[in-house]
Amino acid sequence: MDQATASEPGILAFRKQSQAKEVWRRFRKSKGALVGLIMFSLIAILLLGADFITPYQQATHQDLINKLHGPSWSHLLGTDAFGRDLFARIIHGGRTSLMVALLATISSCVLGSALGAVAGYFGGRTDSLIMRSLDIFMSIPDILFTMAVVFALGAGFVNLLFALTLAYFTNYVRLVRSQVLNLAELEYVEAARAGGAGSTRIILSHILPNAMGVIIINTTLNVAKIILYESTLSFLGLGMPPPAPEWGLLLSDAREYMREAPYLMFFPALAIVLCACSVNLIGDGLRDALDPHLKS
């Protein structure tokens, strides 16, 4: 027994590496996926390196003499109605948006997968309790529930994360449940059970790793959805509290100056679209690489 557990990590590590290589080889073949990866890396570098490129003060510093100036060399993307540099606002604001989106993706994935795995594995009463509650929960349109949560708890990073998690965990429950229902029937799960493995161990180390491909694909595509959803929330004024220059908020502010300064609307919109589009490209590439028969 000791020997088996000792050699297991080695085998797993070896297999994981070769599989990752294989996936990367297939991923590389798709031009769209590579373009998406490069685009997303550039965006991520701009956003993460925002402090080195231009200081945060640039994003909030008001310069009323130079307000509503179009794109120029001193202000790459122009200035807004308070003379704040739009480029600085986009890269600093995007950081919050992207961070919230990524964290919300992870937390909704963990919560949803856990519930789905439990529902699918135990079945019976546990399953119907979870699934019926989910049906009820899903009868409330996401946007309204998110608004209710933000209203009750107030705007802020953690509350926004919480609201987004609650809006997006539901599809993982269904997805993982159906995966588990299929996988739990397989022989190696039966073998593990015969070998005396407990439920937690079977779910975590035998079933979930095999459902990972589908979960990863769904997660990547969800990142884009959450980016769009989060920008919608901040457009409605339900995102981070005002001084944070989130992309949706930039667009909402740009509405008043649509006539004089359409670039105020154009650039943040482009940022949202490029960001979501690059993530979708990566997601599609990953889908083809991880699961060839899902290819549409």
For another protein, the binding residues (CB under 8 A) are 132-133, 135-137, 139-145, 147-153, 224, 228-229, 231-232, 235-238, 248, 251, 254-255, 258-259, 262, 265, 269, 272-274, 276-277, 280, 284, 296
- We find the least distance from the C-beta atom of residue 97 to another protein, in angstroms, to be 12
Closest separation in Å from C-beta 152 to another protein: 4
Inter-CA distances, 29 with 246, 278, 280, Å: 35, 16, 16
Beta carbon nearer to another protein, 202 or 251: 251
Q: Which is nearer to another protein, 56 or 257 (CB)?
A: 257
Nearer to another protein, 195 or 242 (CB): 242
Question: By C-beta, is 58 or 252 nearer to another protein?
Answer: 252
Closest CA to 115 of 54, 180, 64: 180
- Measured from the CB atom, is 55 or 141 closer to another protein? 141
CB of 145 to another protein, least distance (A): 7
- Do residues 226 and 216 make contact, with C-beta atoms less than 8 angstroms apart? no
CB contact at 8 A, 28 and 34: yes
| Alpha helices, DSSP H, located in the chain | 2-29, 31-48, 50-53, 56-60, 86-122, 124-138, 142-153, 157-168, 170-183, 187-194, 199-201, 208-235, 247-254, 263-290
Of the two residues 23 and 236, which places its CB atom closer to another protein in the complex?
Answer: 236
Q: What is the DSSP string of 200-245?
A: HHIIIIIIHHHHHHHHHHHHHHHHHHHHHHHHHHHHTT-SS-TTS-
Residue 112 C-beta: closest distance to another protein, Å = 17
Q: Look up residue 184 and give its two tokens.
A: 């739990």
Question: How far is residue 157's CA from residue 97's CA, in Å, rounded to a whole number?
Answer: 10
Comparison of 197 and 277: residue with beta carbon closer to another protein: 277
Q: What is the distance of C-alpha 50 from the center of its chain? A: 20
Distance of closest approach, residue 80 Cβ to another protein, in angstroms: 16
* Shortest distance in whole angstroms from residue 34 CB to another protein: 16
CB of 133 to another protein, least distance (A): 7
Sign of the CA dihedral running 180, 182, 184, 187: negative
